[in-house]
Amino acid sequence: MLMGRTLTEALRSLHVLDPKTDLAAEETHQSLSANGGSVQHSAITSTHNVSLALDVTIYTIQFIFCCHVPLLLACAAIPVALAAPARTFNITTTQDCFDYVIVGGGLTGLIVASRLSENPYIRVLVIEGGQDNHDDSRVYDVRTYGQAFESDLDYNMTSTPISWRHGTKLPMVAGKTLGGSGSINGASWTKGPKTQYDLLPLLTGDMSWGWDGLNQYMLGAEHFHTPSNDSKSKGADYDGYKHGYNGPVQVSFAQGMFGSIQQPALNASQQIWGLEHVDDAASGTVNGFTTIPNMVQPDQSQNRSSPYTAYILGEPEERDNLVILTGHRAVEIRWNNTCSEAEPDCVLTADGVYYQASHESERLFVKATREVLLAAGSMQSPQLLELSGVGDPAILNKAGVPVQKAIKGVGKNLQEQTKNTITYIPKSDDLEGSGPSSAIAFPNVHQLLGNTSSAVHAETLASLASYAADLEAQGLVANATATHELLKYQVANLFNQSEAAAEIFFTLAPKTDSAPATVGADIWNLIPLARGTVHISSNNSFDMPIIEPSYFKHPLDLHLQTLATRQAAQVYSTTPLADMINKRVFPSFDLQSYDAWQAFVKDTFTSVWHPIATLSMMKEEMGGVVDNRLKVYGLENVRVVDASVLPVQLSAHLSSSLYGIAEKAAAMIKEDQK
């Protein structure tokens, strides 16, 4: 079928080239033909099997390309599904190359890929372990929240065994699909307080990472829709000046997220904690009660607006310079040079990335002519660095990985929030609303601690130095002195009355054929002082990493989690909520004392799945792994663009901040192209 046709004509017929923009490719092909199929400098012969999704006919095209020919390279991959605009591919050659290779097709990876590929002469490859599941109801229907957890849409990682829970390993949910966890999470849109973002300039030496700098990128990602009159009548409120209106991700107040029990719960939070109404959880001031919008379409479908649907499928035109490879895992970064441990100032340069579909499949290589960008998340980005010989030599030597660059902070400083749930059966099954609630109370540490606040503050500060030393001795952080300073910053902000210490998410689940309607609360400690680690378990990239969150390692974490959970239960004992409740079913037994509630917390808590800080963006002398430009110290052309760079937790759901980080990362990378 392809006989007698030029390469460009053949590819155009398969919708691989745009007839409006492939003139340069045609001219290059003619030049190749005139020179006997050779190109000066690094010409590579490659055979590709191209499967056209429309008629499943298999074609074989043999051609020669060079990494420095912009449009031909976009044709160097093999489409297996023409899902416009950025198609997914299956690369079978070991000789392909791109300007940027992005490891991870989750929230941040797809945003950076979308922004970089706006330049048609920049070639971008995204390697993602999951698939395109945007038409799966577990992805697009936010009301099914939770059904994707511990499924084929999850990497199914677990924590190390919890000693007091008889060795139970807790799930560490991370989305294994295009859009990553941004395609399976609760879709909440909140921001932390300004004071927490303003810690970042102190840790990086770069003022642009503060609230004023980062918030402009969060606003740039957002397309906010004001609430309907009906939503307003149920409590939806907002400050129009705190939102963006021209970004890709749709942010709206979903009608189904409001029910008749949320407003009484919010009002009760005034009685329990003395909270005042906050008109917008994106305002940079988070201490009070509020209703929040979600990342859902504003139409009747109210489907999820995910990173994939917003930034990839939402683009008006296809981009042949953006290639998304699904069902594959990056297994190692290849280096152009070597650095011994005796050469601390030596700089490694990445050549590209090895990748595989499975442990048994062929190990393939793709070249990155500009940069390798890590966007695999707080668990898997440090894993890839360690598999590539970058990390703490003690960890690498134990796993049998040759040390290429010693960076002690890789995989350390992990910070993860904890969550408990309380559940009630209401007297009436006829409750408005469905799915996750939009009603949240954010008490601060003084409202939780009451008249013990000053004493707890003083005791916490007095023990921080010895606590930081213990963290370093146990290998949980890279530098005790710097960690002590960081913890002092964190405690100072925690005891600042403008910051929320806990989140109480008032929930509602409608009646089903098999279960009655329930109401309740999810409660989590927002700013844990515990520090954990994530490290490779072996030199096999398909072995899951060892994740040690060190839950409740600092006693204040358990104390605040216990108080917040106990006090959230008191909310449902207030009038008129108490008159709406039939009984409490979880915990089903009566708990009176503080010790009883603490035991309940320890026995039933889960992770919130907001892990951060395993490749912290901090000054190198503080134990940081990446600098203020997100470049890994000692690596010439490797950046990290995901949640692992956040050095401290936020009193917020992470999505809006990650959208901002990704947008800012893309802008910085573009600046550095000049």
Q: Which residues are catalytic?
A: 610, 653
Characterize the bridge pairing of strands 638-640 and 329-335: unpaired
Which of 216-242 are b and which e, b meaning 16 or more Cβ less than 10 Å from the residue's Cβ? ebbbbbbbbbebeeebeebbbbbeeeb
Handedness of CA 73, 76, 77, 80 (dihedral sign): positive
Characterize the bridge pairing of strands 124-128 and 390-391: unpaired
Question: Can you read off the two tokens belonging to residue 137?
Answer: 């109801």
Number of helices (H), then strands (E), belonging to the chain: the values are 20, 27
Question: Can you read off the two tokens belonging to residue 388?
Answer: 């590539």
Residue 610, marked binder = yes
Name every residue whose Cβ is closer than 8 Å to that of residue 146 and which is 6 or more positions away in sequence.
Answer: none
| d(C-alpha 177, C-alpha 130), whole Å | 4
Look up residue 404 and give its amino acid: Q
Residue carrying the six token digits 């160097």:
76
538 vs 312, 384, 401, CA distance in Å?
Answer: 35, 12, 8
Question: Can you read off the two tokens belonging to residue 298?
Answer: 């504003």
| d(C-alpha 239, C-alpha 590), whole Å | 41
In DSSP terms, 420 is beta-bridged to 523
Question: Can you read off the two tokens belonging to residue 672?
Answer: 């550095």
| Three-state SS letters, 602-635 | HHHCEECCCCECCCCECCHHHCCCECCCCEECCE
One DSSP character per residue, 117-185 reads TTSTTS-EEEEESSB--TTSHHHH-GGGTTTTTTSTTB--EEBPPBGGGTTBPPEE--B-BTTGGGGTS
Residue 277, marked binder = no
Characterize the bridge pairing of strands 96-103 and 124-128: parallel
Contact 432, 426 (CB under 8 A): no
336 φ, ψ to 5°? -80, -20
Kindly report the number of other CB atoms within 10 A of residue 44's CB atom. Answer: 16
Residues annotated within a binding site: 609-610
**Which positions make up the binding site for FAD?**
609-610
